[in-house]
Amino acid sequence: MLLKRHEWLDLARKLDWQYSYVAERDVFPEAMSGRPWLEHAEWSDWDEPYRTSYAEYVATQHEKEAAVHAVRDAVGRVADFERHDRAWLSALKLHAATLPLAEFAAVVGNLRAARFGRDGAWRTMATLGALDELRHTQIPLTVLHDLVAWDPQFDWTHRLFHTNEWVAIAARHFADELLLLSNPVEFAVATHFVFETGFTNLQFVALSAVAHAVGDRMFEKMVQSIQTDEARHAQIGGAVVKKVCEHDRAYAQYLVDKWFWRSWHFFAVVTGFAMDYLTPLTHRKSSFREFMQEWVLEQFERTLRDYGLERPWYWDEFERSLGYYHHQVYASAYSYRATVWFDLPLPSPAERAWLAEKYPESWADFAPIWERVSDRWRASGPGIEWYTHGVTPVGFCSLCQLVLSAGTPRKNSACVRDHGGRRYIFCSAPCAWIFEHEPERYAAHHTVVDRILAGEAPANLIALVRDYFGLDEATWGKDSSRGRYPWLAPAVGSAK
Ligand code: MN
Ligand code: MN
């Protein structure tokens, strides 16, 4: 007689046993499994709500794949992408280059948990998570591959993580630690609980709604399909956080504080640029900050409370930075656009008015930057990229490896710390705090400027971009309209 599902399911998904000839500590050493190290009996009530079997997983994933490929067949050709606004294509290039290979690193993080996670159900879920992340690598690589012949910037979908371009250095610094280096406990708190529960909704649900408004059904379908997997395997996070909180709440709080700040910087660039600068104005509904408030602040704060955790200690600074950080980094990226692999639009007066309305307390600090850039475009005329471009390399944070942009145009928040005979510079107090807690993880790393000073990378910006970042004239970022904006009339009295 066949067993019913509920009769066999736990035997299949939650299989643990007593070790007779080895010690449990040798099967799951703390260095590989993480801390707090507890006897398995302590983990035996570990559970998550999806309770999926492998057979069910395969059937469901097959349906999801078929649905993505049906959309690709219908609206995934070059001709479909040619119709999109150029600025929106940059949002796609930014997403496509930063996410898929990070997802591939997440395969490794999940596989470590599939071996060293402390309960059978956890290991089963992590095995499915690894398969999920492989799919999240393959879908965008497949969908965007055909676009490479049309627009070489799409080649960076696969290329970015293999270069020393500055966003790549920052993304690797973050993703390598988060996804390749962390033990299963830190991986669960950092990736599943903070990154996937706290933040990915922003890029995969909120930005998917924006893609819908823009008319990009391919992007909408792709990220929605990915998010259904994230929603399942992210459940590992809460189940692990609960146990860590029972035994070492301070450690759980430390991991949350560390990874929330690091994730915030990552999403401020990827999602912040896309929502506030790269989405055509007519399709914008909410600002990046409004999305952050709805999708991250309210929901994540509630989740933290449910586990008896506090908001990170730098919460006031974080809330202030919602009005500044991505604006500062965008202004830097525009001013150094040849250092990235996608084009950036100059915000029009109408877009600036929208930003002023959405960021009433901070936009007055940024408006003069764009007026000055506009004046320089008027003076040079269209097509002269370098007249509105920075020429000397800028400073980078020794922790997040992003440009030193965490302050405001009026207040510099960069700070220095000495460690092991070397001086380090940080964009913000939380980045310095993370470094000081685990200097052995970070001290040996070199920022772009460290590499220039050591003679490993050229100081001349064009040589740096070409020879070290791996960009060339066909791929480096330019103004999305090459300075040809209808509103950018030549200055009165100009000969042009
Ligand atoms: Mn994923
Ligand atoms: Mn994931």
pLDDT in tens, 5-42: 999 998 899 999 999 999 999 999 999 999 999 999 99
424: which strand partners? Answer: 417
In a domain, 475, yes or no: no
In a domain, 474, yes or no: no
For the record, the structure tokens of 265 come out as 């910087």
Cα–Cα distances in angstroms (integers) from residue 404 to residues 129, 300, 331, in the given order: 35, 27, 12
Residue 77 and residue 147 in contact, taking contact as beta carbons nearer than 8 Å = no
Tell me how far the alpha carbon of residue 228 lies from the centroid of ligand 1, in angstroms.
Answer: 10
- 355-387 pLDDT, tens per residue? 999 999 999 999 999 999 999 999 999 989 999
DSSP 417: E
d(CA 330, CA 278): 11
Q: Would you put residue 381 in left (φ > 0), alpha (ψ -120 to 50) or beta?
A: left
Q: Look at residue 442 and tell me whether its pLDDT is greater than 70.
A: yes
* CB atoms closer than 10 angstroms to residue 386: 11
In a domain, 479, yes or no: no
Tell me how far the alpha carbon of residue 480 lies from the centroid of ligand 1, in angstroms.
Answer: 29
In a domain, 26, yes or no: no
Helix (H, G, I), strand (E, B) or coil at 444: coil
Count of domains for the chain: 1
Segment 386-407 shows an average pLDDT of 93
> Is the Cα dihedral 371, 374, 378, 380 positive or negative?
positive
In a domain, 265, yes or no: yes
For the record, the structure tokens of 245 come out as 């909180």
Instruction: Work out the pLDDT band at 496, boundaries 50, 70, 90.
Output: very low
Cα–Cα distances in angstroms (integers) from residue 424 to residues 82, 317, 350, 408, 419, in the given order: 45, 21, 40, 21, 7
Residue 94 and residue 160 in contact, taking contact as beta carbons nearer than 8 Å = no
The CA angle 16-20-26, to the nearest 5 degrees, is 75
Ligand nearest to the CA of 99: 1
Ordered alpha helix ranges (H), 146-234: 156-159, 166-175, 184-187, 200-201, 207-214, 217-233
Tell me how far the alpha carbon of residue 381 lies from the centroid of ligand 2, in angstroms.
Answer: 46
Question: DSSP labels for 235-265?
Answer: HHHHHHHHHHHHHHHHHHHHHHHHHHHHHHH
Q: What is the pLDDT of residue 408?
A: 85
Tell me how far the alpha carbon of residue 38 lies from the centroid of ligand 1, in angstroms.
Answer: 29
Domain of residue 404 covers 46-468
Segment 344-349 shows an average pLDDT of 97
Tell me how far the alpha carbon of residue 119 lies from the centroid of ligand 2, in angstroms.
Answer: 19
Q: Look at residue 491 and tell me whether its pLDDT is greater than 60.
A: no
Tell me how far the alpha carbon of residue 112 lies from the centroid of ligand 2, in angstroms.
Answer: 14
Tell me how far the alpha carbon of residue 103 lies from the centroid of ligand 1, in angstroms.
Answer: 5
Q: What is the pLDDT of residue 191?
A: 97
Ligand nearest to the CA of 197: 2
Those residues whose C-beta lies under 8 Å from the C-beta of residue 322, and which sit 6 or more positions away, are 289, 292, 293
Tell me how far the alpha carbon of residue 184 lies from the centroid of ligand 2, in angstroms.
Answer: 14
* CB atoms closer than 10 angstroms to residue 298: 11
Those residues whose C-beta lies under 8 Å from the C-beta of residue 278, and which sit 6 or more positions away, are 87, 88, 90, 91, 94, 344, 345
In a domain, 12, yes or no: no
Ligand nearest to the CA of 230: 2
Tell me how far the alpha carbon of residue 230 lies from the centroid of ligand 1, in angstroms.
Answer: 6
In a domain, 393, yes or no: yes
Q: What is the pLDDT of residue 490?
A: 64
> Phi and psi dihedrals of 263, rounded to 5?
-65, -40
In a domain, 168, yes or no: yes
Tell me how far the alpha carbon of residue 172 lies from the centroid of ligand 2, in angstroms.
Answer: 17
Tell me how far the alpha carbon of residue 196 lies from the centroid of ligand 2, in angstroms.
Answer: 6
Ligand nearest to the CA of 140: 1
- 57-102 pLDDT, tens per residue? 999 999 999 999 999 999 999 999 999 999 999 999 999 999 999 9
* CB atoms closer than 10 angstroms to residue 463: 12
CATH label of the domain that carries residue 204: 1.10.620.20
Q: Look at residue 396 and tell me whether its pLDDT is greater than 60.
A: yes
Segment 394-421 shows an average pLDDT of 93
Q: Look at residue 495 and tell me whether its pLDDT is greater than 50.
A: no
Segment 141-159 shows an average pLDDT of 95
